[in-house]
Structure 1
Amino acid sequence: MLNGKILLVRRSRRNQSHPLIVVTLTNLLIIFSANTSATNESVKPVDSTKWFHQTILPNGKSWFNGELQHYTDQITNSFVSNGTLKIKAIKESTKQRGVTKEFSSARLNSKFAFTYGKVEVRAKMPKSYGGAWPAIWMLSKDINERGAYFQQLGFGKSNWPDCGEIDILEFWGRIPEVAQSAVHTRSSHGNTINLGSQRIPSISSKFHVYHLDWNKDFLSFGVDNVEHYKYNPKVKNQMTWPFDSDQYLLLNFAIERNIEPSFENGILEIDYVRIYDDSGVLIWSDEFN
């Protein structure tokens, strides 16, 4: 702990329940549990004009870091209900493109990219389980990653970590009550030294606003307007500062190899996502209404 802030060694995100039956009734989707009655909770799909489901395995037969999940575009894994987005990781055998995984989840790419400004995401983390790994983060629009939204549009000239990675919020289930942020560049990546965190006792029971302030000089991270990390390298070059071009937002819930056996499901719940330009004007949002 340094100056009241908890510093954790981490690696990059990039290099790195009960079964449900879905019944569709016109534009209304009602989720039924396989062993209970209806939940009284109507749901709708994620807005496809704003979000892209990234589902293709980019690393052969797996995601990076040996993660155990398949990311799907199924409404059981990502949906909007009662005014919030839910990204749900589920312990269930899932087969996609000939590969079977024991967990399913979702990974959303924003279809919007920007340079400089402020990101605010009001979110509630799932219950802590070792190996559960939800996150709110950013990658370069030009990252060379198979299956990413902008890569499929013809971008993808920059490899990781040269493209840069901005982790606005990571919640490591094995470290309860801690919100962590990190930056990855060519100069420090994987187990990066560029990180900071703060303890949030109600991180899994209440909504909090996670923010990034980004300009030509620094990246500032915090929760509920309390900063816990600022990245401001003295020397800015290709090794330390690949952050003068468009980045897009990612929302996902990964499952690590050390997931606790008792884990059945967990939900990353998001109330809103708002992006402002560097003059404070709202330029993109999803209120999940």
Structure 2
Amino acid sequence: MRNYLYVISLFFICFFTTQCGKKKESSHAIFKKLVWSDEFDGEGAIDSKKWFHQTQLPSGGDWYGGLVNHYTDRLENSYVKDGFLHIVARKEIFNDQGELKEYTSARLNSKFAFTYGRVEVKAKLPTGIGTWPAIWMLNKNINEPGAYWQKQGFGTTFWPVCGEVDILEHWGKNQNYVQSAVHTESSAGDDVINLGGKLLENVSNEFHTYALDWYEDKMVFSIDGSVHYTYEPPLKDSSTWPFTTDQYLLLNIAIESDIEPSFQKSAMVVDYVRVYQ
């Protein structure tokens, strides 16, 4: 009898352990194959085989949203050191493309684009009122002069019809609150309603893993494995779901016009970028 009870007990332990193990599997278990990554090994300039510096100003001389910075391809604004990517926003007088601005930063486009999968980015964020770091995606068909995929001949569709996915945004004027959003023809810009966020601790002093799971019918946004927003429109058409073709990654720090006068420099530090399918 004792042996019988032991066997039964062992069975239930194994069964529930297995079930619990299944429950612990995250929703991204479907995306297991690493198809592209940058671990930021080495020192100095970023890997030009993987990233493109987007520096060309839009017509009018300012970046969208009234930003007050230049994006540059200089080491002062983006470099790799000790296994980390540093994107640095700096206060400095900088003249480029006939425009004099008081701040510089970097905006990177990935030379890799994909449809459906999981993106993971482990990063620490900059500080300072007026800083606006982002980890995001655009369709490679966006008609935006100066963007990498536009230069490759893919620019056919204007924003927001092309679709934009903000995996992470953080505003220095709202320190430690992070947000994800989806911009489409039906919900975009200042009127975007497809968004969700979360208040964290020490986003500028501690690394967090910001992730997106992009399926054929929904997008799931998470931080450190905890889901904070899911975009799953019941009606999927070109105005709500333009997410059926390749998107590429962007990493940048924008500087808003309300930047605090005492700001000097601050960095987004990235441990890795990984894409799974």
Fold shared by both chains (TM-score > 0.5): yes
The residue aligned with 2:241 is 241
* Uncovered stretches (5+) of structure 2, i.e. residues with no partner: 1-41
The residue aligned with 2:264 is 264
Structure 1, residues 163-205: CA drift from partner, whole Å, max 9, x if none?
Answer: 0000000011100111110000001101201100111112111
The residue aligned with 1:224 is 224
The residue aligned with 2:65 is 65
Once residues 264 and 133 of structure 2 are traced to their aligned partners in structure 1, the CA distance between those partners, rounded to angstroms, is: 15
Aligned residue pair count: 235
The residue aligned with 2:187 is 188
* Uncovered stretches (5+) of structure 1, i.e. residues with no partner: 1-41, 278-289
* Overall identity of the aligned pairs, in %: 55
Once residues 204 and 92 of structure 2 are traced to their aligned partners in structure 1, the CA distance between those partners, rounded to angstroms, is: 23
The residue aligned with 1:165 is 164
Letter aligned with residue 188 of structure 1: S
Once residues 165 and 89 of structure 2 are traced to their aligned partners in structure 1, the CA distance between those partners, rounded to angstroms, is: 23
Once residues 236 and 103 of structure 1 are traced to their aligned partners in structure 2, the CA distance between those partners, rounded to angstroms, is: 40
Once residues 156 and 59 of structure 2 are traced to their aligned partners in structure 1, the CA distance between those partners, rounded to angstroms, is: 17
Letter aligned with residue 143 of structure 1: I
Letter aligned with residue 275 of structure 1: V
Segments of 4+ moved more than 4 angstroms: none
By percentage of residues, which structure has more helix?
2
Once residues 164 and 60 of structure 1 are traced to their aligned partners in structure 2, the CA distance between those partners, rounded to angstroms, is: 23
Once residues 240 and 98 of structure 2 are traced to their aligned partners in structure 1, the CA distance between those partners, rounded to angstroms, is: 39
The residue aligned with 1:124 is 124
Once residues 261 and 59 of structure 1 are traced to their aligned partners in structure 2, the CA distance between those partners, rounded to angstroms, is: 27
Spell out the pairing of 1:15-94 with structure 2 (5 A cutoff).
43-94=43-94
Secondary structure at the residue paired with 1:74?
Answer: coil
Secondary structure at the residue paired with 1:167?
Answer: strand
TM-score, structure 2 normalization? 0.84
The residue aligned with 2:147 is 148
The residue aligned with 1:283 is none
The residue aligned with 1:9 is none
Alpha-carbon RMSD across the aligned residues, in angstroms, is 0.9
Secondary structure at the residue paired with 2:59?
Answer: coil
Letter aligned with residue 219 of structure 1: M
